[in-house]
Amino acid sequence: MPVYTPPLRDIRFVLFELLDAASEFSQLPPHPDLDEDTVSQVLDEGGKFASEVLYPLNPVGDREGCQFDPATGNVTAPAGFRDAYQQFVAAGWPSLACDPAFGGQGLPMALNNALYEMLNSANQAWTMYPGLSHGAYECLHAHGTPQQKAQYLPKLVSGEWTGTMCLTEPHCGTDLGLLKTRAVPQADGSYRITGAKIFISAGEHDLSANIVHLVLARLPGAPEGTRGISLFVVPKFLPQADGTPGERNAIRCGALEHKMGIHGNATCQMNLDDASGWLVGEPDRGLNAMFVMMNAARLGVGMQSLGLTEVAYQNAAAYARERLQGRSLGGAKAADRPADPIVVHPDVRRMLLTARAYAEGGRAFSSYLALMLDREHGHPDAAVRQEAADEVALLTPVAKAFLTDNAWIACSEALQVFGGHGYIAEWGMEQTLRDARINMIYEGTNTIQSLDLLARKVLADNGAKLRRFGAKVQAFAEAKAGDPRMAAFIAPLADLGDKLGKLTMEIGMKAQQDRDEAGAAAVPYLRVVGHWAFAYFFARIARVALDRAEGGDDFYKAKLAVARFYVERLLPETAMLIRQARSGAGSLMAMDETLF
Ligand SMILES: Cc1cc2nc3c(=O)[nH]c(=O)nc-3n(C[C@H](O)[C@H](O)[C@H](O)COP(=O)(O)OP(=O)(O)OC[C@H]3O[C@@H](n4cnc5c(N)ncnc54)[C@H](O)[C@@H]3O)c2cc1C
């Protein structure tokens, strides 16, 4: 039977021992006195909801999927999903990190993020419904008119209504400049919107009373390409003066996609046929406004993968302790039993530790990023806000791509721990692997994240943001250099920092001559940056764990062991990645297109 125990102790360790979240929170209104006890209580409750309500629904959603009724265009989510959503709303979870001006609780993103790790471990497909709503909330909060905010935000905050993002069209995925959906202005200030969207997550379902679609479309005469795209809010039901859902709008689901994983989430083809919509933000600046939602969603996708990595690890570890096969190479470990548990075998340990290291590194990295988001949005000092915003911009594509690639590796290794039983549906591992695959694709494929990192976040400012984060890493390394117990962590961290600096300069120079050089280097480059950031957080984890591990505390001994494994077994991947990134575009571009 699949198992999931919310990793509350690990989350508290990261937030309060590693990242000193309490002092971060103390500088942020409206909850400067938020302490570990309060956060723990909230997370305990969230963990219970995830493990007791959502996790049992995970295989149900996978088996049943969503049902589409062509006669009505209605979509029914799998059994239990609606009820779980109502419980989620009744408990006030959607409002956790939202603005009190619109009914939110104003708690930090870092707390919301930790909640979402657990929800995603338990049931990624279900969690996408409230996850997308939060993105829609952030977008309207940043760019909506006062009237739009008053109309939509309280409903999104309470969770009564859910949200979507409608970008993709059949001929237009990565390249949004190709999009064709049209918006025609009306005398009353609204727009009539017509077009076809595909792959829209949570586009139609029976969980909420209304669905707030954020739709990209073109105004008449708009410039070609991405400079001519505007953003519109298009509700499923038009809100009435009293705030209740009124007339049905002409945005309807035409079909559901049949797909590899996340079966419990409705992936919809959406048809807009003169649907009523209202402009959000400025005309032709829709992508700019949508980026608020896309950036939030990118960290959100990283959290989906962190959740899956954790649950995959937990199941593989439980199985490895029980499954008896073969004897330990060093002599029987369980002589009273017919064979030893497979956890004695070095390679089974490698697989388990790989998954665990990617979970622990990912938790530290993403929690740090969430705290930077809290600083960016809530710190009273504008300079601190700007510095945090720069780090968020730099690290968001890494969170999206590195965590999702790692989850694919981790879930595959965890499945392998089960041998043939991993491939059989009963144990839930094959669902985890199938669910994990989409995270590398949507919200901008991981290739696009790596181009964003290298071209827009690093080369565009001559490496300024990277150097500022690097200065933090270096300051830590220098401060700990005198402790011989830290040498195993600090030396590889400093070495990789040097190599990354040189690699960045080399790619930057080559890319000035030939832009394909950036495209050829981007994917391995992002993985190098991801490993560098993880090496930094594992060194910090080791620093916190060392004294207590030496005192014999098992929790900290395990933290130290995982950090050592990471440095010795996973970090060396960077040597290969750097060689790949340096090898340039030549071998990729040499073959004529017609020969593919
Ligand atoms: C289950 C699911 C849910 C989704 N949910 C939503 C949603 O809620 N809302 C929404 O709007 N969309 C959604 N999407 C769409 C998703 O965001 C797109 O599939 C994704 O952005 C890629 O677009 P595409 O599929 O058209 O692939 P393409 O853009 O055709 O890309 C194909 C391949 O080419 C590569 N490529 C493309 N351009 C470049 C380039 N310039 N440089 C290098 N490589 C390039 C890509 O990385 C990819 O490997 C969803 C998709 C799925 C499958």
User: ∠ CA(106), CA(111), CA(116), 5° rounding?
Assistant: 115
Nearest CA to ligand 1 atom 42: 448
DSSP string, 15-81: IIIIS-HHHHHTTSTT-TT--HHHHHHHHHHHHHIIIIIITTHHHHHHHH--EEETTTTEEEPPTTH
Distance between Cα 400 and ligand 1 center (Å) = 14
**Does the beta carbon of 41 sit less than 6 angstroms from any atom of ligand 1?**
no
pLDDT at 411: 98
**Beta-bridge mates of residue 253:** 270
**Does the beta carbon of 297 sit less than 6 angstroms from any atom of ligand 1?**
no
Query: In the Cβ-directed half-sphere of 582, how many Cα atoms lie within 13 Å?
Result: 13
Distance between Cα 516 and ligand 1 center (Å) = 20
Above 90 in pLDDT, residue 186?
yes
Above 90 in pLDDT, residue 297?
no
CA distance 537 to 549: 17
Nearest CA to ligand 1 atom 27: 173
pLDDT at 511: 96
CA distance 525 to 352: 26
Distance between Cα 171 and ligand 1 center (Å) = 10
**Does the beta carbon of 168 sit less than 6 angstroms from any atom of ligand 1?**
yes
Which pair of tokens denotes residue 570? 């996973």
Encode pLDDT of 116-142 as tens digits: 999 999 999 999 999 999 999 999 999
pLDDT at 579: 98
Which pair of tokens denotes residue 64? 């049943």
Burial class (CB in 10 A: 0-12, 13-18, 19+), 218: buried
pLDDT at 61: 98
Encode pLDDT of 526-548 as tens digits: 999 999 999 999 999 999 999 99
Encode pLDDT of 14-73 as tens digits: 999 999 999 999 999 888 899 999 999 999 999 999 999 999 999 999 999 999 999 999
CA distance 40 to 524: 38
Report which DSSP code applies to 245: E
Which pair of tokens denotes residue 577? 């990645």
CB atoms under 10 Å from CB of 182, counted, come to: 16
The answer to whether residues 201 and 214 touch, using CB atoms and an 8 Å cutoff, is no
Which pair of tokens denotes residue 374? 């809290």
CA distance 396 to 63: 33
Give the mean pLDDT of 564-572. 98
**Does the beta carbon of 437 sit less than 6 angstroms from any atom of ligand 1?**
no
Above 90 in pLDDT, residue 289?
no
Q: Which of 164, 204, 229, 442 to mutate to test the pocket of ligand 1 (most atoms within 8 A of CB)?
A: 442
Listed in sequence order, the DSSP H helices in 481-515 are 487-513
**Beta-bridge mates of residue 248:** 237
Encode pLDDT of 307-361 as tens digits: 999 999 999 999 999 999 999 999 999 999 999 999 999 999 999 999 999 999 9
The answer to whether residues 591 and 542 touch, using CB atoms and an 8 Å cutoff, is no
**Does the beta carbon of 148 sit less than 6 angstroms from any atom of ligand 1?**
no
The answer to whether residues 108 and 43 touch, using CB atoms and an 8 Å cutoff, is no
Average pLDDT along the chain: 97
CA distance 588 to 399: 27
* AA identity, residue 316: A
**Does the beta carbon of 442 sit less than 6 angstroms from any atom of ligand 1?**
yes
Distance between Cα 174 and ligand 1 center (Å) = 5
**Beta-bridge mates of residue 192:** 184, 276
Distance between Cα 452 and ligand 1 center (Å) = 15
Give the mean pLDDT of 181-200. 98
Q: Which of 128, 199, 201 to mutate to test the pocket of ligand 1 (most atoms within 8 A of CB)?
A: 199
Above 80 in pLDDT, residue 571?
yes
Please report how the helices 286-322 and 346-378 are oriented relative to each other, as an axis angle in degrees rounded to 10. Answer: 150
Encode pLDDT of 222-254 as tens digits: 999 999 999 999 999 999 999 999 999 999 999
Give the mean pLDDT of 89-104. 97
Active site positions, annotated = 443
Which pair of tokens denotes residue 322? 């029980």
CA distance 113 to 93: 12
- The predicted model scores a pTM of 0.98
Question: Omega into 30 within 30° of 0, i.e. cis?
Answer: yes
Give the mean pLDDT of 167-196. 97
